[in-house]
Amino acid sequence: MKSLRHLAIIGGVILLLPWGCIGSSPRVPVRREIALGDRKVDWALVYYQSWRRDRDGIYLRLARRHMVDAINSYFRLQVKMGHSYPDFYIVDRKRRRGCRFLQQMEREAGRFAVMLEEADQSGCLR
């Protein structure tokens, strides 16, 4: 009798599991989103080093584009997770460091007369 009741409960849970997942969308874990932002920063640094070596404006534009993408992805992640999440301040530090680096790239673009296209820099909170 007792095992029949347990079997009925387990069967009910198994039947209700798919129903509980219908409305939820799969979410990328926070650590993976941080890693994607870090990858964009890495590409920005690669292109920036190429800019420093060759002084070809395309490298500076690519570095800036990747850095802006990284900053904005960090910002969206911060908004999504809120202050209570343990990695919030780590992501905030990465975002602010990216903003400082972006300012450095923009100063160099002005100094070397490299034309940069407009970019959404809302992640830097200017």
pLDDT of 20-33, one tens digit each? 444 444 456 888 99
Answer whether residue 9 shows pLDDT above 80.
Answer: no
Q: How far apart are CA 38 and CA 31, in angstroms?
A: 10
Residue 14 forms part of a structural domain: no
pLDDT at residue number 2 = 59
Query: What is the domain range of residue 98?
Result: 29-120
Q: Is the confidence at residue 42, as pLDDT, over 50?
A: yes
**Closest C-alpha among 64, 126, 62 to residue 98:** 64
Query: Is there a domain that residue 106 lies in?
Result: yes
H/E element, 60: helix 57-81
Q: In the chain, what percentage of residues exceed pLDDT 70?
A: 77
Confirm whether 70 is domain-assigned.
yes
Residue 12 pLDDT > 90, yes or no? Answer: no
Model confidence pLDDT, tens digit, residues 72-99: 999 999 999 888 888 899 999 999 999 9
> Domain count of the chain?
1
* pTM value > 0.85: no
**Which residue, among 70, 55, 45, has the nearest Cα to 108 in the 3D structure?**
55
> Is 60 domain-assigned?
yes
Please give the Cα distance from 93 to 83 (Å, whole number). 13
Nearest residue to 43 via CA among 30, 59, 31 = 59
Domain membership of residue 16 (yes or no) is: no
DSSP 8-state assignment for residue 26: P
86 domain-assigned: yes
